[in-house]
Amino acid sequence: MTLIAILMGTLAAGIGSVWLAAALSFGALGRYTEHMLSLAAGALLSTAFMHLLPEAFESGIGPDGLFMTLLIGLVFFFLLDKAELWHHGHEHHHGEADGAAVHDRAHHHHNHHPAPATGGSWAILTGDSVHCFGDGILIASAFVADMRLGVIAALAVLAHEVPHHMGDLAVLRMASSTRRVALIKVTLAGAVTALGGLVGYWLVDQLHDYLPYFLVMASSSFVYVALADLIPQLQKRLSARETSAQIAWLMVGIGLVMLVSSLAHAH
């Protein structure tokens, strides 16, 4: 039952985030990109601080070891980010096409370059696949700990992957001839999340006594992505109305996680 739930959760997070990103990128919903960043940040922080970390600390393991794991996790993901393995968006390059405008909103800190060659697009997909594989392991860890926790973690991963996949689609759209080809490629990369879930299920099953440490590592991932990637993109001078919208969508992300948690707990 747990394995089936992991597969469903990882597929929903991995592939569902791609299709939602496609709807935002290729449809009339592109103007909501900024709101998705706020929602994703709220969902990640809420999941880490209100669910994953409390679950880990309830295990009875000394807080010193868990806090040390949290610190190591944050440094670890920072180093991966510097190596351009974790936040795959850092290897995106884009030009002045319409798709690049969407990509620039999702990854505002990247430089403008000509559209990538085919080899560059495969480099993007490789980085995306590594990222999705790691997400799958984190989701599996949460499901093994508690079914409700797994649902929440899958939701948080889905939310934070949408802006990233929007960047992928924008870049690959310029390297490919059609939107369909770009969507298929990114969908295949997103499906790697399920493979990560299978590996994570086996790994956590073999190292069950270390499950609280897996949960803390998942928390460090969520906190790092929210504070180092998403929120900095929102830190800019805006009108009072736009700032209020940012805060509102951040609270929606937090509220959404709490709602899913209460519904899962009720069932």
Q: Please state which of the ranges 103-117, 119-133, 243-257 shows the lowest mean pLDDT.
A: 103-117
The Cα 104–Cα 107 span in angstroms is 5
pLDDT for 255 beyond 90 = no
pLDDT for 36 beyond 50 = yes
Model pLDDT for residues 202-253, shown as the tens digit of each residue: 988 888 888 889 889 888 988 988 888 778 878 888 788 888 988 998 898 8
Task: Return the structure tokens found at 220.
Answer: 């460090």
pLDDT for 101 beyond 50 = no
Residue type, 247: I
pLDDT for 117 beyond 80 = no
Mean residue pLDDT of the chain comes to 78
Residue 16's pLDDT is 92
Task: Return the structure tokens found at 199.
Answer: 């590996």
Across 76-90, 106-120, 193-207, the highest mean pLDDT is recorded for 193-207
Task: Return the structure tokens found at 65.
Answer: 């070891």
